């Protein structure tokens, strides 16, 4: 029986995953809200598969995942995310993550992906690359952003003003405006709305 752990911030989704995975005969090791919680539980539990929504973890989520995998080298990871962005799929591929499923897809896709991973395969589908076809430059632009620029981008995506962002980051309005200009240059645009659109279509808010 395959042992699965889950990291998901939404309590309703956590409960739902626990129920449906148990009904399918999987052994549930840990259901956690954060990767920090999962790291703490790693002392006592060694799941075979981790189902993870990385989007609402902190910005060091992939570093923590790498640490978790170093503690448990046989651990395989399946991303289950609201994001259909190729940027996030690319991150998963670069990390060597075994599979990626979007939450908007039919539930059976999740179980098919788990089975593929159990068989030692990778669970990625052609449909996941449609975002890349539609927005071919998004992943390149997002990968070029500095950590600060990325943080500012997410705040723009959340609809925050320069004044609000400067207050929350404890930086001057001028500094935030400079980050905005640099992002616009990387996007080759003069319209700040394009920054907001970039963030939102890549689920960065």
Residues 46-71 pLDDT 10s: 899 999 999 888 778 888 999 999 98
Query: What pTM does this model have?
Result: 0.86
| Per-residue confidence (pLDDT) for residue 133, from 0 to 100 | 84
User: Do 70 and 108 sit in the same domain of this protein?
Assistant: yes
> Does a structural domain hold residue 80?
yes
Q: How far, in Å, CA of 167 to CA of 169, rounded?
A: 6
Q: How far, in Å, CA of 47 to CA of 124, rounded?
A: 21
What is the residue range of 148's domain? 138-201
| The pair of three-digit structure tokens given for residue 52, joined into one six-digit string | 């993870």
Residue where a domain stops, chosen among 126, 149, 176:
126
Short-list 194, 169, 171, 168, CA closest to 181: 194
User: Do 48 and 122 sit in the same domain of this protein?
Assistant: yes
Q: Which residue has the tokens 């052994």?
A: 27
User: Do 70 and 144 sit in the same domain of this protein?
Assistant: no
User: Do 49 and 114 sit in the same domain of this protein?
Assistant: yes
> Does a structural domain hold residue 37?
yes
| Per-residue confidence (pLDDT) for residue 43, from 0 to 100 | 67
Q: How far, in Å, CA of 158 to CA of 181, rounded?
A: 18
pLDDT in tens, the chain (205 residues): 899 999 999 999 999 999 999 999 999 999 999 999 988 887 678 899 999 999 888 778 888 999 999 989 999 999 999 999 999 999 999 999 999 999 999 999 999 999 999 999 999 987 777 888 889 999 999 999 999 999 999 999 999 999 999 999 999 999 999 999 999 999 999 999 999 999 999 999 8
Residue where a domain stops, chosen among 126, 155, 176:
126
HEC string of the chain equals CCEEEEECCCHHHHHHHHHHHHHCCCEEEEEECCHHHHHHHCCCCCCCEEEECCCCCCCCHHHHHHHHHHHCCCCEEEEEECCCCHHHHHHHHHHCCCEEEECCCCHHHHHHHHHHHHCCCCECCHHHHHHHHHCCCHHHHHHHCCHHHHHHHHHHHCCCCHHHHHHHHCCCHHHHHHHHHHHHHHHCCCCHHHHHHHHHHCCCC
Q: How far, in Å, CA of 21 to CA of 110, rounded?
A: 10
| Per-residue confidence (pLDDT) for residue 23, from 0 to 100 | 96
User: Do 65 and 108 sit in the same domain of this protein?
Assistant: yes
Residue where a domain stops, chosen among 126, 156, 184:
126
């Amino acid at each position: 029986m395959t042992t699965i752990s889950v990291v998901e911030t939404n309590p309703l989704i956590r409960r739902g995953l626990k129920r449906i995975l148990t009904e399918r005969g999987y052994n549930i090791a840990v259901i956690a809200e954060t990767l920090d919680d999962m790291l703490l539980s790693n002392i006592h539990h060694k799941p075979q598969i981790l189902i993870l929504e990385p989007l609402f973890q902190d910005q060091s989520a992939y570093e923590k995942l790498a640490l978790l995998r170093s503690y448990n080298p046989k651990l395989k990871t399946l991303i289950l995310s609201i994001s259909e962005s190729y940027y996030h799929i690319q991150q998963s591929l670069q990390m060597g993550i075994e599979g990626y499923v979007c939450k908007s897809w039919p539930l059976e896709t999740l179980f098919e992906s788990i089975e593929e991973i159990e068989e030692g395969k990778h669970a990625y589908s052609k449909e996941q690359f449609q975002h890349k076809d539609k927005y071919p430059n998004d992943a390149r632009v997002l990968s070029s952003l500095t950590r600060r620029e990325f943080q500012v981008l997410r705040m723009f995506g959340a609809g925050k003003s320069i004044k609000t962002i400067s207050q929350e980051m404890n930086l001057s309005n001028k500094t935030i405006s400079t980050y905005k200009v640099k992002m616009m240059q990387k996007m080759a645009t003069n319209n700040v709305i394009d920054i907001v659109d970039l963030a939102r279509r890549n689920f960065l808010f």
